[in-house]
Amino acid sequence: MVTGPDPRLPRPLPGAVGLSYLSAYDWEAADGVRGGSPHLHLVCTEAYVVTGGRGAVRTLGPDGYRDIPLRPGTVAWFTPGTVHRMVQGGGLRVTVLMRNSGLPEAGDAVFAFPPEVLADPERYAAAANIPPGTGPRTEAAARRRRDLAIEGYLGLREALATGDTGPCRDFQRAAARLVRAEVPRWRELWRAGALATAERTSARLDALDTGEPAYLGDATAYRAAPTRLAGFGMCGHRDEYALPGTTPPYDGRGHGWEPTGS
């Protein structure tokens, strides 16, 4: 028998992906560029589907620096370990798809803060976490967080411009050390989400193979609209969807963990 989520609830999006909708920040940074907070993901691939405006995503990695233009209809994605910065060019709006829904909110995202901040888990958490809500206090904290990430990002970019990949690799290793204690919890989220989705597909293939596709009797359709608007995400103002198996509510924390002993 094929099992799945409670039939009274909407089914997860295909592939157990995370979903959110971003309006890129229009805040000018120290280098004169408007946009969000550079960061990387440790496990998840992220994709942008541009629905309005224009801008760019600027990426850093051992393979160098890239400036990818974003226009309506553009799809851009980047793999784990890629430092990315969303840049505002005018009215940029993006639908964001995240592999392994739930993991980014559980901590699979590390800001490109300077090395001395990354080396201290308590200092990192203090810089990354912002108050909940959408008021001026939260916005000011999100701006400070963005500016600190830009400081670290610019150092990485300058090193890459000289052909030195060492600082970028050091950042990747520092990010991995920060999240290591969270891996058991992430594994459970992955088992309940992406892995469970793949296993349901396997069970449905088995049902088709035996000629008993009873699960097709549950066929239906759903729609959803954002349930929380204009939260302060990493790259921009973030609309959320309260759907099972998609992006959980964003509580304002830049990292989904607290330092040991806190």
Give the start-to-end residue ranges of the domains of the chain: 14-240
Give 28-50 pLDDT, tens digit per residue.
Answer: 999 999 999 999 999 999 999 99
Q: Identify the residue whose tokens are 């709006």.
A: 93
pLDDT at 39: 97
Give 68-88 pLDDT, tens digit per residue.
Answer: 999 999 999 999 999 999 999
How far is residue 194's CA from residue 82's CA, in Å, rounded to a whole number?
Answer: 21
Reference 57, options 35, 41, 73; nearest CA is 35
Residues of the chain with pLDDT under 70: 1-12, 244-262
pLDDT at 193: 86
193 CA to centre of own chain:
16
The DSSP secondary-structure symbol of 191 reads: I
pLDDT at 256: 36
The CATH fold assigned to 14-240 is Jelly Rolls (2.60.120)
How far is residue 228's CA from residue 240's CA, in Å, rounded to a whole number?
Answer: 5
How far is residue 161's CA from residue 138's CA, in Å, rounded to a whole number?
Answer: 34
User: What pTM was estimated for this model as a whole?
Assistant: 0.88
